Amino acid sequence: MAKEKIVLITGASSGIGEATAKTLVNNGHKVILTARREEQLNQLVAELGSDNALAVAADATDFTALENVVTKGIEKFGRLDVAFANAGMGVSTAGTEKGDPDEWSTMIDINIKALLWSAKLTLPHLRKTTGHFILTSSAAGRKPIGGSIYGATKWFAYGFGQNLAQEMSEWNGRCTTIAPGMVNTPFFDEAKPDKLDPQDVADAVLFAIEANQRNSVREIYLMPTN
């Protein structure tokens, strides 16, 4: 069994974040969970056990609120080994000409700014543990998609992850960018059999953090088989 990791997860109340929390705890790790929906977070902690999980509700786009999450998590567990910046959203109307600027602004706050805040706030603690930063980009951040503002925010996430991996390598820290295709989560309106499952992404996170310290898994690109 790999050494127990203390892992902070943003966007933890459903979908990929929830699946990852369960997978990590089931494999002997402990989690600090944050999202805006406090009730769902508390239910998840009740399921995982308060020895293994802490919930601190916060809006990841609020720097001060996210700082409180990191502080509370370290107060409980004493250190931070991994940060998983997973919070994200899409838009209801695609395209540049037809898109909604207010919706873009909200999406940029969560897909870009919250990612930056997560890195800024956790890196000093990850440096102490020679830790690991993981982020959710997207297959949409690896290829052009006509008029996709969402895709452009995930291009940012993808590029940031590559740059951060180099920055963290200066002190032997590891950074993994996870780029999944469509995942069957509340993010999308209807379930389809040709989507990935949140568990697929959770398994990728587990693989990356449990890899031998000499092995920095820089990127995991997941697509539905069919």
List, by residue number, the catalytic residues.
150
Residue with tokens 């944050």: 34
Q: What is the widest separation between alpha-carbon atoms in the chain?
A: 52
What residues are paired with 108 via a beta bridge?
none
Cβ–Cβ < 8 Å for 126, 80: yes
Q: DSSP state, 111?
A: I
C-alpha distance across the termini of the chain, in Å: 33
- Whether 120 and 112 have beta carbons less than 8 Å apart is answered as no
Q: How far apart are CA 120 and CA 83, in angstroms?
A: 11
Contact 166, 182 (CB under 8 A): no
Q: How far is CA 2 from the centre of its chain?
A: 21
Angstrom distance (rounded) from CA 98 to CA 190: 23
Which residues pair with residue 7 across a beta bridge? 31, 82
